A and B are shown apart, each in its own frame.
Chain A
Amino acid sequence: MTPVGVDIRNVALSFGTTQVLKDITVSIQPGEFFALLGPSGSGKSTLLRLIAGFNQHSHGSVLVGGKDVTGTPPWKRNVGMVFQNYALWPHMTVEQNVAFGLEERKFPREKIREKVAAALELVGLSALGKRRPGQLSGGQQQRVAIARTLAIEPQVLLLDEPLSNLDARLRVQTRQELVKLQKRLGITTIFVTHDQEEALTTCHRIAVMDQGVIQQVGTPIELFDHPANRFVAQFVGSVNLFAGRFRREGDRLRFASVQIGEIDLPPGLEPPSEGSDLAFRPHAVHFDGDGRTPSEGSIRLDGAVEGSEFLGEFLRYEIRVGEALVTADVPHERGRLPIAAGTRVGLSVPASELRFVSA
């Protein structure tokens, strides 16, 4: 089956007086592995359920493969959904679960047997067809759920937090298998998650959602390197954010912040709009004398170490600069001890790592 795209145009939805989705427009390409990323209550699951037909939007339209499916009941949409809790029917065996959608589509019995076997083969569960869902582990249940959905050969695959009920180790493994499966089948896939790591590692593109609005759509690297606003900067990765005012003195740009004081900005930075915050990632912070030579244009900060967390690959320092706490990550080398609290340190951030974001 040739993959199809999903177009969501000006979609709005309210539950009572609460606006859950506000004017959502996003276009998902055929064959794309697309993530809806956001905190709980951001509307990401609502949007997914809307594509499946479980919620009816009040405005706008949803197109699957160029066809408007607004008003089409869920059972006629042919978009397969894998539920967060897998939703396997406990009164049916694994095979009966997988066969369900094919039976509803009135496939001949021989064909059903073939397709069920193929679907279970695909997820590596051929041996467990006669078991009941209650006799399977969490990971196996999840595979059954995927097999059950893929058996009907849906136009689009919807995944609602499919990894959240798995333990940490299994989650990483399953994530990688999902990527391989999606690549092999080439099916347009929409993946809902609140976990940025899941979204960044699996998906081609991500829509970051908050409060019923899509904040930014982009590839994982675009989102990380060029966050469109304060929310995206904070939600995708860690960030240092400081509010302040920009002042031009001749051809120099100065940044005055009640939090970190006045600093000189390196030349060549684009003059930002009023009300922008200065933003940089913790890993972009250099310590004086740490061997990483700061590039020409850098900003300089002076502060004192307040505390540190050892995270294995790196040390995360909290450094008091003026009124503010700056987070700085330093790669760990074997045997190196953390800088003691109270030690005064000089910091620099290269101009290329500086961003200005607004609300």
Chain B
Amino acid sequence: MTRTSPAVAAVALAIAAFLVAFLVVPVAAVVVTAFADGQGGFTLAHFAAFAQISLMRESFANSLYVAGLTVAFATLIAVPLAYLTVRFQFRGAILIQTLGVLPLVMPAFVGASAMQLLFGRSGSVNLILKDAFGITLPLMEGLNGVIFVETLHYFPFILLNLSAALANIDSSMEESAQNLGSSGWRLFSRIVFPLALPGYVAGASLVFIKVFDDLGTPLVLNVTNMLAPQAYLRVTSIGIEDPIGYVICVILVVFSIAAMAGSWWFVKRRDYAVVSRGGAMAPRRRLTPWQTFLAYGWIALVLLLVLSPHLGILLLSFSKVWSFTVLPEQFTLAHYATVFEDSTRMIWNTFLYCGLAALFDVIIGTAIAYIVLRTALPGRQLLDHLVTVALAMPGVVLGIGYLRTFRGIELPFGGGALTASWLIFVLAYAVRRLPYALRSCMAALQQVHPSLEEAAENLGANRWRTIRRVVVPLMAGGILAGFVTSFITAAVEISETILLTSRESLAPMSYGIYLYMQSIAGRGPGAALGVIAVVLVAVGTYLSHRFVAANTPQNPTGGKP
């Protein structure tokens, strides 16, 4: 199966050229600008200047603080839930699985304004607390609000990774430890925890990066003394030439890559869970009544918190006025009417940009998966690595990189400036969502046993015919799931979107939500648009799970040697 043809090489080169032009060059431009002295030389002066501005030092510390605490709180929520589902006989497992998906369906920046109304200084919870006990909790004050919102949004990453890691531990691992006399806390700390650690680290590092790079949530909560908002503000208010914005970008990139590389290194070194697969999962233990009570209590509390932005945004979208009251006092459908009157253009834009970007992603993803897994093209792994780099690139950085690299570049046939056209959204979304589509395509192709392709070749189908008649149909579920994942994550992308929106007629929905949320009067329509986005994402997530589920068991020879 490992042969290489000129056609394969040509496709690989074309993909590489695309990635270089729209990923490597823009990021490189950002990095170069941060170190350039204006006369073509190298300088650290911009970094020195950065360190001398007290707001920058504060922002840097704040970003670390917020990301660190979010990881800590997310861990507190996720670890007990993961352990409960995997190791105990427990009817609430379906609830926990729901918990794992619900927050991801609601983009953090959408939920943020609803959270203000529920947990803010004059929000529902504090109004009740003040009435009953005369106290208030500063849950949404400044950085607290960012930590609170991000924790509720991102803890599923730890929950999902850790649950998978725990479920992967072969029961014989624990049983042999028990057989040798280990139990309880010692069994957990010496066997279970070390074996599941790679899963936890992978999830936690992802949470750290996402929070550290996030632009939308702090902006919606009006918190600007963090790194990503500062980068955005410098570039938009002072100008595209301001070097401090680029310095911040470099810091974001360095931290993202370091966190991701660190987690990979760790997982690679410590990933023994795969040593003996195929055995049964550890038998689930029974909970004592007291433990059951605690477990359900914990789940109920988390579920309540997780659902609060969903409920909040729903209430907000139907409320006429909602301030200084526990719940809205009058309900209306007017906001939805407003949205459908004013914002159909934005909804259409979202479908256009994200649909094209996702289509692009699955085509490139399928091609890369095939080249990496099925050909002997020298350097083919490079494509995979290059795409994975996109995963570590903060949207702010790529957005600023696009503005800098492509300013002044005119589209052919009088299409105007690239940075002022809708194409820039498609490109930006496609590049940043490509890793998701690629993972999905890779997983799908790995499910296809190479002998299925060899059988086709043996019966007279050449390579291209084999790809068309056997490979792509068998990958269909994975490709569709990749398309949907790319589409929905791009639909609620906010960092790049804020930076790249040059005029309102080009704006997608996510920008619309952000824009509405800026004013008190716009909150209602913003929430309505948010509900539409959430429904879109929820339906997409459901479909993508369906596609994957429909694809896997259909492959009888997939698992055999």
Residues of A within 8 A of B (CB): 52-54, 56, 73-81, 83-91, 100-101, 104-105, 133-134, 141, 148-149, 152, 165
Contacts and interface: CB of A to CB of B under 8 A. Distances in A.
Interface in B441-487: 449, 451-452, 454-462, 465, 469-470, 473-474, 476
Contact of A101 (B459, B553, B556): B459
B237 interface: no
A75 to B, nearest CB: 5
Interface in B415-462: 449, 451-452, 454-462
B238 to A, nearest CB: 56
Contact of A88 (B461, B473, B556): B556
A154 to B, nearest CB: 9
Nearest to A52: B458
Nearest to A148: B459
Contact of A74 (B449, B457, B555, B556): B457
Nearest to A83: B451
Interface of B: 1, 3, 449, 451-452, 454-462, 465, 469-470, 473-474, 476, 553-557, 560-561
A76 B461 CA distance: 8
The 10 closest A-B pairs by CB, nearest first: A101-B459, A104-B460, A87-B455, A87-B451, A74-B457, A85-B557, A83-B451, A85-B560, A81-B458, A104-B461
Contacts of B456: 89, 100, 104
Contacts of A152: 459-460
Contact of B556 (A56, A73, A105, A134): A134
Contacts of A133: 556-557
Given A90-B474, A90-B555, A105 B460 contact: yes
Nearest to A161: B561
- Most chain B Cβ neighbours within 10 Å, of A86, A133, A149, A165: A86
A152 B457 CA distance: 12
B339 to A, nearest CB: 42
A320 B296 CA distance: 68
Contact of B449 (A80, A87, A101, A104): A87
B452 A89 contact: yes
13 contacts: A54-B1, A83-B451, A85-B451, A85-B560, A86-B557, A87-B557, A88-B452, A89-B452, A89-B456, A90-B555, A104-B459, A133-B557, A134-B553
Contacts of A148: 455, 459
B449 A85 contact: yes
Given A91-B474, A149-B459, A54 B560 contact: no
Contacts, number: 91
A100 B455 CA distance: 10
A105 B458 CA distance: 12
Contacts of B561: 84-85
Given A54-B1, A87-B557, A90-B555, A80 B470 contact: no
A186 to B, nearest CB: 21
Nearest to B454: A54
A103 to B, nearest CB: 9
B1 A81 contact: no
Contacts of A83: 451, 454-455
A52 B462 CA distance: 14
A331 to B, nearest CB: 38
Contacts of A56: 3
Nearest to B466: A75
A77 B39 CA distance: 64
Given A81-B455, A87-B454, A91-B473, A73 B462 contact: yes
Contacts of B455: 81, 83, 87-89, 148
B550 to A, nearest CB: 11
A104 B456 CA distance: 9
Given A100-B461, A104-B465, A90 B556 contact: yes
Nearest to B556: A134
A80 B459 CA distance: 7
Contacts of A73: 457, 462
B341 to A, nearest CB: 46
Contacts of B476: 91
Contacts of A100: 456, 459, 461, 469
Given A73-B457, A73-B462, A134-B554, 15 more contacts: A52-B454, A54-B457, A75-B460, A84-B451, A85-B557, A85-B560, A88-B452, A88-B556, A89-B456, A90-B554, A90-B556, A90-B557, A100-B459, A104-B459, A134-B556
Contacts of B459: 75, 80, 100-101, 104, 148-149, 152
Contacts of B3: 56
Given A84-B561, A85-B561, A75 B457 contact: yes
Given A83-B451, A85-B449, A91 B458 contact: no
B560 A165 contact: yes
Contact of A80 (B458, B461, B474): B458
Contact of B458 (A79, A88, A90): A79
A73 B461 CA distance: 10
A280 to B, nearest CB: 37
A89 B454 contact: no
A8 B477 CA distance: 43
A86 B451 CA distance: 8
Nearest to B557: A85
Contacts of A77: 458
Contacts of A149: 458-459
Contacts of A141: 556
B60 to A, nearest CB: 49
A118 B291 CA distance: 65
Nearest to A100: B459
Contacts of B553: 134
B434 to A, nearest CB: 26
Given A84-B561, A104-B465, A89 B470 contact: yes
A119 B85 CA distance: 51
A77 to B, nearest CB: 8
Nearest to B453: A87
A88 B470 CA distance: 10
A91 B554 contact: yes
A96 B456 CA distance: 12
A321 B187 CA distance: 51
A54 B453 CA distance: 11
Contacts of B1: 54
Contacts of A75: 457-462, 465
B536 to A, nearest CB: 29
B454 A74 contact: yes
Nearest to A56: B3
A41 to B, nearest CB: 14
Nearest to A138: B556
A55 to B, nearest CB: 9
Contacts of B560: 85, 165
A248 B384 CA distance: 71
Contacts of A104: 456, 459-461, 465
Nearest to B553: A134
B220 to A, nearest CB: 45
A149 to B, nearest CB: 7
Nearest to B459: A101
A143 B473 CA distance: 24
